[in-house]
Amino acid sequence: MLTETNSFTSPDADYTSLSHSATTLDSAIDRARAQLLGLQSEEGYWVFELEADCTIPAEYILMMHYMDEINQALQVKIANFLRAQQSADGSYPLFKDGPGDISCTVKAYYAMKLAGDSIDAAHMLKACAWILARGGAAKANVLTRITLATFEQIPWRGVPFIPVEIMLLPKWFPFHLDKVSYWSRTVMVPMFILCTYKVKARNPQKMGIAELFVTPPDKEKNYFSHVKTPLGKAILVLDRLGRLMEPLIPGVVRRTATAKARDWFMVRLNGYDGLGAIFTAMVNAYEAMDCLGIPADNEQRRIARESIDRLLVIKGDMAYCQPCVSPIWDTGLVALTLQETDRHQRDSHTRQALNSALNWLAAKQLKDEPGDWRSRRPNLPGGGWAFQFGNSYYPDVDDTAVVAYALVQASEQKFAEPIERAGVWIAGMQSSNGGYGAFDVDNTCHYLNHIPFADHEALIDPPTADVSGRCIMLLGKLVNRHPEYKAVVDNCINYLRNEQETDGCWFGRWGTNYIYGTWSVLTGFETAGVPKHDPCIRKAVAWLTSKQRNDGGWGEDNYSYHDTRIRGESHTGTSFHTALALLALLSAGEAGSPEVEAGADYLLKNQQADGFWSDDSFNAPGFPKVFYLKYHGYDKFFPLWALGRYRNERLAAM
């Protein structure tokens, strides 16, 4: 699966070292920067494609058939995309070159069949055989089975009992919306309506997938064979009792719960950015509006539909649908990249682009808007940024740290107020263990990941090392002016010390994987003032250098989420991981090391003629083990950022 990673110990091992002349380095930086500047929008932001596995484009086709709103030309293009992504064995993986995933493969097969592909076509036969060899479509995950239930392909007993009355549970109850992550709530609330009323897809062609089942769906008894824990099995007993008792629920209670669910998601519809600004929640909301009888010409319903279409990427005869978009994240990271490259030689075009970008970002700060995070911090003033163009209920701690850090580095008085608000908000969003989750405080009810619905094990949003590292990156920059942040920073550093793996790295929750996590923490340690000789830093440096490949680069595969024995390793290096490793080592004071020189060589050698780099791999998890992403901007700006920092460190040493 993976080739052996060889520790890099010499600047001339297995490759010819470049001279690193000022001309070579400056030329590489100038070419990449020019390309990056050319991608800035007129409004000032950058946004790159955000690609997921084939589940999302397949679900788009399924949605069209659910609603009987079929755009034939678009369907052809999405089906072309799906066929092109199929693995040689007939399956569909969750990330490029990964193992096949049964849920993704079932949805892709169903979508292609709905689009008109014959079940006797070679690619369909291979997919069908692969699915049957793994137990059939009954083995798909819960979200896939819910889709199949709405299309009347399995009975409703094949999905968890999730009645809309869940909306009426008190906060002290073991399950409550406040106890699950933002992405879970926005997906689940409209889903409660769909499942409670057992909605039926219009499915105008009445197309089914009976051929994908080993046992006829109505005779299948093992829809929940994946539930192994005592808690999960106990909840299955309650599930059966709930189904038996459902007819006894008073009509007034059901109507009250339905109205509460409707009101909850309708107020969060988020205009043209959609519920939660994430695809699955947006589709569920749109279908729930239809179920509730909201007419097609209703403005909110029309906008909800358009918000979904805004996620489409159409290129020639192919199209796919993104899970969401990432303009604030992309723009914040590009701003940090350009600030680094501009330290050496002030460039008027770069300064103009930065000014435009930072003004755009500052205007996107969320202040007094309502947000779910206020459930835990009702008296904390707002000051965060979202990930997407608009997502006012769900500012993101990670994005906020990155954007505010870029504003701090601009050293302009006009940004003083948004910086102050961001610092107060970040400090106030710290969890009790000293770390930071992405959207909520102390969202740590881990038992919820063992209920039957949560077979993806991502129902909560606990603190993680990567987000926490960026929070102290910001607060470390502000602590001289705000000594009240020192205790916050110290508590977070202690949390990160406890989170360090025994071999010296940190887990990467939001980027692949241990290289990403280690970069995140070391950059935070640098601005927080952790000494370079600190044992945690020395151990991390030793781990990073041990993972360098013979060609001078670094790489890490998403397999490391499934098998920690291959953490920090891959069959090939990538510009993204090499850039992260370089940035991490430079933060740790390793500017003069042969490993850093070799890493810079790798980036210079692998730069394309257009100035960018090209990595094929998916580079981040949406949810580790079950959902992966490819940020199309990461191989464009991270290598430039690393070379810019490398150049600045060289100049500082002269």
pLDDT, tens digit, 9 for 90 and up, residues 258-314: 999 999 999 999 999 999 999 999 999 999 999 999 999 999 999 999 999 999 999
538-571: buried (b, 16+ CB within 10 Å) or exposed (e) per residue? ebbbebbbbbbbbbbbbbbbbbbbeeeebbbbbe
Confidence category of residue 19, pLDDT binned at 50, 70, 90: very low
Alpha helices in 321-445 (DSSP H): 327-341, 348-363, 397-410, 416-428
- Residue bearing the bigger pLDDT, 113 or 224: 113
- Predicted confidence (pLDDT) at residue 22 exceeds the cutoff of 90: no
Closest CA to 531 of 546, 520, 543, 541: 541
Q: Look at residue 454 in the predicted model and tell me its pLDDT.
A: 64
Tokens 């505010």 label which residue?
A: 404
Which tokens go with 642?
């690393």
State how far the Cα of 197 lies from the Cα of 237, in Å rounded to an integer.
22
The bridge status of strand 312-315 relative to strand 50-52 is unpaired
Spatial separation of the C-alpha atoms in residues 471 and 456, rounded to whole Å: 27
Give the catalytic positions in this structure. 398
**β-bridge partners, 93:** 100
Neighbour-count burial for 53-68, b at 16+ CB within 10 Å, e otherwise: bbbbbbbbbbbbbbbe
Average pLDDT score over residue span 491-497: 98
480-511 burial, b at 16+ Cβ within 10 Å, e below that, comes to eeeeebeebbebbbebbeebbbeebbbbbbbb
Q: Which are the contacts of 328, defined by CB distance < 8 A and separation ≥ 6?
A: 45, 361, 364, 385, 386, 387, 388, 389, 396, 399, 403
| Winning range, highest mean pLDDT, from 238-247, 344-353, 535-544, 559-568 | 535-544
Among 10-19, 132-141, 560-569, the range scoring the smallest mean pLDDT is 10-19
Banded pLDDT at 455 (limits 50, 70, 90): low
Q: How many CB atoms lie within 10 A of CB 293?
A: 7
Question: Model confidence at 10, in pLDDT bands (50, 70, 90)?
Answer: very low
441, 485 Cβ separation under 8 angstroms: no
- In angstroms, the CA 145 to CA 217 distance is 11
- In the 8-state DSSP scheme, what is residue 329? H
Compute the distance between CA of residue 631 and CA of residue 619 in angstroms, rounded to an integer.
7
The pLDDT of residue 397 is 97
Q: Give yes or no for residue 619 having a pLDDT over 50.
A: yes
**What mean pLDDT comes out for the span 305-329?**
97
Average pLDDT, the chain: 93
In percent, how much of the chain has pLDDT > 70?
96
